[in-house]
Structure 1
Amino acid sequence: MRPISRRLLQSPQGSFLSLCLVFLLAPMLARYGLGWSGGFGYLSDLAIGSLLVLVLHNRPVWIVLPVILIWCVFTIGNAELMTAVGRMPEVSDLKYLSDPQFVSHSTQGGGLSHPWLGLALALGTLLCLLTGWRRYATKRLSPVWYVLPTALLTLHVAGQYFKPSEADQWKQFNLAHKLLAEGFSTGQLAVETWLDDDSSEPPPDIAGLTRLDLSGPRLIEPGKARNVLIVTLEGIPGAYLAPNRAAIGSSYHEDLMPRLGQWATRGMNTPDYVLHGHQTIRGLYTMLCGDYDKLDSGTPKGVEMLNNHLRNQQCLPAQLRDQGFSTHFLQGAGLRFMAKDKIMPHIGFDKTLGRDWFKNKPYLEFPWGMDDKAYFEGALGYVKQLRKQKKPWMLTLLTVGTHQPYSAPDDYLARYPSAKQAAIGYLDDAIGNFLDGLEKQGVLKDTLVIVTSDESHGIDDVRLASAWGFNLVLAPEQTQLPALKRGVYGHLDLTASVLDYFGFSVPSNLSGRSLFRDYSTGREVISYTNGLLREHDGKGTLIECDFQQVCRRYASAGFIADQARFLGRFRGKQARLVSQRAELLDQSLSSGQIGQHYQFANRERIRLQETLGNDWTDNLIGAQYLELPKGTHTQVKLKIRAVRLDKQGATLQLKTKEFDRDVAALAPQLPALKAGKTLELSFGFDNLATRKAFSFHLLGQGRGAIEITDFSVVTEPLLQADLLDLEKVEESALAE
């Protein structure tokens, strides 16, 4: 008698069980192991997995195997992208799912972040092969079986409609389910748009979102402070401060920043403080220039402003410089990433300094730059230097220690359950010591100090945590300011607030309210984080629109709240109006024009490393997160001069990425740069579809230094004839 295991492998039951392993058990175990547990998520896994099992059961291997391989790439790619950048793949990422580099941990250059998931899927695939070589002529499953996945999908849709979840997308959707839902919603929206053509209607009104409102009565007369210090903490959400949690009745109770929370009780703290987007450069732009950054993944406005020599003069550093202040920007990381080396001087900083300025020894080796303790010790010395000068000063600080990958000293790692929490605790002690040091130096007596964050790295299961920021004001006239500033405020308000504090005139094309005034009415605010577009009407209603272009209404007095009453959902024309308002805000600098010319070279001498480094921390050029519109051609010109290179010369590498994943075949391989020589080249590529979050990464290896004298990126519309020819070529290639 054959062994039972062998009989099982050669039976239809064995094939069925192996399919269940790949399509049901593996994704559900992955969801549990990755910490993505949620009722809707498991329901989505069961619905899609059971449907695929039923469709593929008893099919020939040449049908089953390709589906399994695609499923494996989807599953692994989703886990890898979530680990790397904290989001699920989009439809535009599908072309990368077949790229082997997509399933590698690109930010570290290593293998899979979750090898156990790959092994589980490989085992399931092997079992499917072993059990699927022979096609059995058994009776097909009854159509009645398809009631199961249909019922599960219906239950998921009904649950989302009647009891929508606040959880992140990956806790609610299997990737295949998300892509199917997104495709269905796009088609449905196209039909609705066709049936309800509103092209002849005027654009929606955005005056309430862009209004400069200084109508409220002052809390204080023009302030007594002489200087301005803005401290920006990397990625810290407002939930970490105990006074914020208490003010909104938050159910989140983990007290990771007790020292900063104690300082918050000594100043004016704003609990309902909105972050309008993700990414440091976007947060800094909104804070310092009084304008919404892109409410999507388009080119950051800070980069666009490099082509605008009028609007940059309204930014806070330029305004204070005109008032006689010396203006300074100091961050713990290098300046070239995301072009801060060019953007910060452009908006008015007299001095823009990064990692290379610090002479004090760091306590930790951190790939992004200075650890927070060493950073704030250096910053305290910088403040001491500024206090010796006669001119008033503005200093903006930006930390980096709470950016991925998180690191902290061993004693902190031993005290906290995760490296992320340890890094936050380390930052809390560092900022606490810094503020104590400012007080001892007497800085708080003559300086307006504002402590905030550039963005929020979010907190699992905390409502709106990705949009929840904080703003702590320490002013000489503290007794005249409330401990808790009521009302909805955000980064949009910071520039107007500082100018209003000093009694300076505020440029009329800025937006926002002043934190140093009281308002009796609400105001409109918009935000885009975690793939959700949220808009508050200032009258008690918050609207939240998701990736399916479905919007939900909530009764919420303010923007940030622990809970909100669900009022119903809508789509169609009303949903399009929300998106259209966001699109109009996105065009505040470009006026909708798609032709752009960016120059990222600054002619700075750059000392090379002896080995090729990390794509992110060692990038030599600041051309990141650009949007290259559909129907355009992008031309890149590069010129690099060798400076004191040894006779071995330098090895240079230029990579292109979209949504932080490598894009092959767009940039040429760079030849070796010889000592005393100059490398000069030009290349281009067409954009038949819009490329979003598109980045250039230039890496160098050698002994000596180089000077980048030209790195220009020019994007211009294709001629209609060229566009038609390219579309024909693409259609022909697809047909082949």
Structure 2
Amino acid sequence: MPLSSRWLPYPAASLAALGLLFLALPMACRYWLGWSSWPGYVSDLGLGGLLLLLSYRRPWLAAPLALAWALLLLGNAELVNAVGRMPEPSDLKYLSDPQFVSQSTQGGGIRYPWLAGALALAVLACLLLGRSGGPRPPRYAYALPLALLLGHAVQQYRAPSEDDQWHLFSLPHKALAEGISRARVALEDWYAGEDSGLPPDIAGLSRLDLSGTPLLPGGGKARNLLIVTLEGIPGAYIGKSRQLLGTPYKEDLMPRLSQWAERGMLTPDYVLHSHQTIRGLYAMLCGDYGKLDSGTPKGVELLASQTRNLQCLPHQLRAMGFRTHFLQGAGLRFMAKDQIMPHMGFEQAHGRDWFRNKPYLEFPWGMDDKAYFEGALRYVQQLRRERQPWMLTLLTVGTHQPYSAPPAYLQRYPTAKQAAIGYLDDAVSDFLAALEKQGVLEDTLVVVTSDESHGLENVRLASAWGFNLMLAPKQDRLPAVKTGVYGHVDLTASLLDYFALPVPDNIAGRSLLRDYATPREIISYTNGLLRQHDGKVFTECNFQQVCRRYESSGFIADHAKYLGRVSGRQARLVGQRAALLDQSISGGQLGQRYQFANRERIDLKPESRDDWADNLIGAQYLELPKGTRTRVSLKIDALSLDRRGANLRLLTKEFDRDTSLAIPALPPLKRGESIQLSFDFANPQTRKAFSFHLLGEGHGAIRISDFSVVTEPLPPELVANQAVGTTPEAAAH
């Protein structure tokens, strides 16, 4: 039968609903969000057309596809707006998690309610109008969307674009392309055989370099050190950095901090090596690259080392007579900072519970920025009453998603994110002004920087663009602008160099307090892109393991001369260097032994409402390698419970979503008693971003005296036969 006569009986309403959901809405969304590019529209048409053909006249398939498609489209738009990056394939697991969505949209709400509403109506129309039975599209109808996807793949492989990934791919298409890329690389490896060469040289990335000419011969004049770390702030928010690097970004969201940047030594070409706070803190305080992938953060791995932690800046300064302190606006237990920060050498580490001043607004993660800096100012006043020199590291939380600010700021700015940034600008600037008024700047080196960058759309390299501002006594001895490429990996060496203290040989980096005649190597992994710069050539590798090469004297630049692309083994050398740097603590060993209990008193809440905010243990975002078994042991003691005791729950999550592991239930904890539990589970595949969540409800306090997590390789003969699950061996006392 001719195609036309078979096609005409198809219900036009059902076809229109599917076309609206899979084709019209994605392209309209791309246009209105400012993501227009012809590869992006080809991606929408190719994958959307394929899903339309698969869904038509198949209601049993159309329903889950429609729901998943709508959720991914909305989640992609929200995440790009919130943190300036497209979800990676592993992130897809939690985009449908109601808890994640509710927590992430708390306060500011969904950024694009019109998109959510349009998608909901389109999905409802597809479900109501779809019907089973009748003929389906002929097989050759699939040729057009497949040809579009093939053409897209060829174009991106032969001439990859500099545009952000969300300009070029729909989210499911990106995941599909990554899977195909892995298969292509595996085929290349099989065809070429094993590598016979030596491992790539990483000396230029991992060595300490103090060969430059000192800016302050004999060291600086400050007695104390204050590091102010601003959550998620990119270098583009500093006016002088924008001017010097020639970025087209013009929004002046932090004008007051930009004025302070005119008074100190600013390093505009300053590289952030990764996302996630704990990774940024580790790099800046320990003179080492954080993980250049999504594996277990090195800050957590540091807990298993009794030697590498001694090289971190707080330990080094403490050994030289400094009192070392850490103060953040959020709770300390998340990501085990209650243990990591003392292990790095902080004599005192405090979080949300330290503050006695009343916050100006309720914020789910901790203190709002104004109240936080008011508390931090009192902390500085306490330190100044001591005779010893001191180091204080501050970490804000107010510019973390969900963004929140007082009503006056929300009325002044078009988005909650911009309002939160403006609120931080006023708070940190008032704090610096108060320090100056009290004379703190006369004897204290103040460093203002950020832990990571939440990125900016349409700003090249914004996800890796940080800033470093130094306010020092006798500021005129330092240049107003520190030229050259530097990053968080350089901060430990720089600060030890400022105080004319010995710098351990096994940390990496250069000193910002020296001028160098030769360029340097540096590396970063943000927004799913691995970027390496050797001083002359900038190489950027995407998720398909295709790398673009540019001629560029700096790392952060608005534009650079394109030199062409590389793939295959030459491109994978970049990844191999990153993998070797990732082993700086573990040495490549598979065995992992972590103890997350700190034996401190923990006051319980009558009700546990949030798996994250109410978590009692800091074992988050671990990587459990393939072919291993993880053994968990814990002991919980009742300290001062009432007669009703306490109810405890232990949950496990992977990429922030509940897992299916059969973790044994914890029995009720009674007054004056203890609970002991041990269990193990296999890891037939690598588990990434794996987290433990211990929740407790009751009146009184408990102590976690043991929470050990041990992961060891399985014998080869057992790996293939190992089943997913747990073999609990629990006992209550």
| TM-score relative to the length of structure 1 | 0.91
Equivalent residue for 1:646, pick from 613, 637, 642: 642
Equivalent residue for 2:279, pick from 277, 282, 294: 282
Specify whether residues 639 and 36 from structure 1 end up closer, same or farther in structure 2 by C-alpha distance, changes over 3 A only. farther
> After the TM superposition, which of the residue ranges 281-290 and 117-126 deviates more from structure 2?
117-126
Q: 1:400 corresponds to which letter in structure 2?
A: V
- Alignment pair present for 1:719 and 2:715: yes
- Note if contact 1:80-1:103 (Cα within 8 Å) is conserved in structure 2: no
Once the two structures are TM-superposed, the CA of residue 650 in structure 1 deviates from its matched residue by 2.1
CA distance in 2, matches of 1:571, 1:37: 27
Q: C-alpha offsets along residues 487-508 of structure 1, whole Å, 9 cap, x if unaligned?
A: 0000000000011111111110
- Alignment pair present for 1:373 and 2:370: yes
- Note if contact 2:70-2:120 (Cα within 8 Å) is conserved in structure 1: no
The residue aligned with 1:449 is: 446
- Note if contact 2:72-2:171 (Cα within 8 Å) is conserved in structure 1: no
Once the two structures are TM-superposed, the CA of residue 177 in structure 1 deviates from its matched residue by 1.4
CA distance in 1, matches of 2:652, 2:266: 42
Once the two structures are TM-superposed, the CA of residue 56 in structure 1 deviates from its matched residue by 5.4
Equivalent residue for 2:230, pick from 213, 228, 233: 233
- Note if contact 2:17-2:122 (Cα within 8 Å) is conserved in structure 1: no
- Alignment pair present for 1:599 and 2:600: no
The residue aligned with 1:438 is: 435
> After the TM superposition, which of the residue ranges 693-702 and 294-303 deviates more from structure 2?
693-702
- Note if contact 1:594-1:717 (Cα within 8 Å) is conserved in structure 2: yes
The residue aligned with 1:619 is: 615
- Note if contact 2:207-2:509 (Cα within 8 Å) is conserved in structure 1: yes
CA distance in 2, matches of 1:36, 1:75: 18
Once the two structures are TM-superposed, the CA of residue 675 in structure 1 deviates from its matched residue by 2.6
CA distance in 1, matches of 2:17, 2:504: 66
Once the two structures are TM-superposed, the CA of residue 133 in structure 1 deviates from its matched residue by 2.5
Once the two structures are TM-superposed, the CA of residue 14 in structure 1 deviates from its matched residue by 4.0
The residue aligned with 2:3 is: none
- Alignment pair present for 1:25 and 2:24: yes
Specify whether residues 29 and 652 from structure 1 end up closer, same or farther in structure 2 by C-alpha distance, changes over 3 A only. farther
Q: 2:404 corresponds to which letter in structure 1?
A: S
CA distance in 2, matches of 1:52, 1:446: 65
Once the two structures are TM-superposed, the CA of residue 486 in structure 1 deviates from its matched residue by 0.3
The residue aligned with 1:582 is: 578
CA distance in 2, matches of 1:118, 1:663: 28
Specify whether residues 477 and 20 from structure 1 end up closer, same or farther in structure 2 by C-alpha distance, changes over 3 A only. same
CA distance in 1, matches of 2:255, 2:707: 45
- Alignment pair present for 1:573 and 2:572: no
Specify whether residues 542 and 71 from structure 1 end up closer, same or farther in structure 2 by C-alpha distance, changes over 3 A only. farther
SS in 2 for 1:271: strand
Q: 2:326 corresponds to which letter in structure 1?
A: F
- Note if contact 1:314-1:507 (Cα within 8 Å) is conserved in structure 2: yes
Once the two structures are TM-superposed, the CA of residue 610 in structure 1 deviates from its matched residue by 2.0
The residue aligned with 2:60 is: 65
Alignment of 1:140-155 (within 5 A): 141=138, 143=140, 146-147=143-144, 149-151=146-148, 153-155=150-152
| TM-score relative to the length of structure 2 | 0.91
Once the two structures are TM-superposed, the CA of residue 41 in structure 1 deviates from its matched residue by 2.8
Once the two structures are TM-superposed, the CA of residue 35 in structure 1 deviates from its matched residue by 6.8
Specify whether residues 532 and 344 from structure 1 end up closer, same or farther in structure 2 by C-alpha distance, changes over 3 A only. same
Q: C-alpha offsets along residues 407-446 of structure 1, whole Å, 9 cap, x if unaligned?
A: 1111111111111111111111111111111111111111
The residue aligned with 2:393 is: 396
Q: C-alpha offsets along residues 300-342 of structure 1, whole Å, 9 cap, x if unaligned?
A: 1111111111111111111111111111111111111111111
Specify whether residues 589 and 429 from structure 1 end up closer, same or farther in structure 2 by C-alpha distance, changes over 3 A only. same
Once the two structures are TM-superposed, the CA of residue 145 in structure 1 deviates from its matched residue by 7.3
Once the two structures are TM-superposed, the CA of residue 136 in structure 1 deviates from its matched residue by 3.5
The residue aligned with 1:42 is: 41
**Equivalent residues, number:** 711
- Note if contact 2:206-2:508 (Cα within 8 Å) is conserved in structure 1: yes
Alignment of 1:388-537 (within 5 A): 388-537=385-534
- Note if contact 2:66-2:123 (Cα within 8 Å) is conserved in structure 1: no
Once the two structures are TM-superposed, the CA of residue 728 in structure 1 deviates from its matched residue by 11
CA distance in 2, matches of 1:141, 1:322: 76
CA distance in 2, matches of 1:650, 1:30: 49
Q: 1:230 corresponds to which letter in structure 2?
A: I
The residue aligned with 1:557 is: 553
Q: 1:120 corresponds to which letter in structure 2?
A: L
- Note if contact 2:94-2:655 (Cα within 8 Å) is conserved in structure 1: no
Equivalent residue for 2:654, pick from 653, 658, 663: 658
The residue aligned with 2:4 is: none
The residue aligned with 2:544 is: 548
SS in 1 for 2:721: helix
- Note if contact 1:30-1:117 (Cα within 8 Å) is conserved in structure 2: no
Equivalent residue for 2:361, pick from 357, 361, 364: 364
Q: C-alpha offsets along residues 108-155 of structure 1, whole Å, 9 cap, x if unaligned?
A: 799x966526523432432452xx323138xx6584773465146515
The residue aligned with 2:126 is: 125
- Note if contact 1:78-1:88 (Cα within 8 Å) is conserved in structure 2: no
- Note if contact 1:639-1:678 (Cα within 8 Å) is conserved in structure 2: yes
CA distance in 1, matches of 2:70, 2:378: 49
Identity of aligned residues (%): 61
Specify whether residues 212 and 433 from structure 1 end up closer, same or farther in structure 2 by C-alpha distance, changes over 3 A only. same
- Alignment pair present for 1:636 and 2:632: yes
Once the two structures are TM-superposed, the CA of residue 470 in structure 1 deviates from its matched residue by 0.5
SS in 1 for 2:437: helix
Once the two structures are TM-superposed, the CA of residue 521 in structure 1 deviates from its matched residue by 1.3
Equivalent residue for 2:693, pick from 690, 697, 703: 697
CA distance in 2, matches of 1:598, 1:35: 46
The residue aligned with 1:269 is: 266
SS in 1 for 2:558: coil
CA distance in 2, matches of 1:155, 1:81: 20
- Alignment pair present for 1:672 and 2:672: no
Structure 2: segments with no counterpart, 5+ residues? 1-6, 727-733
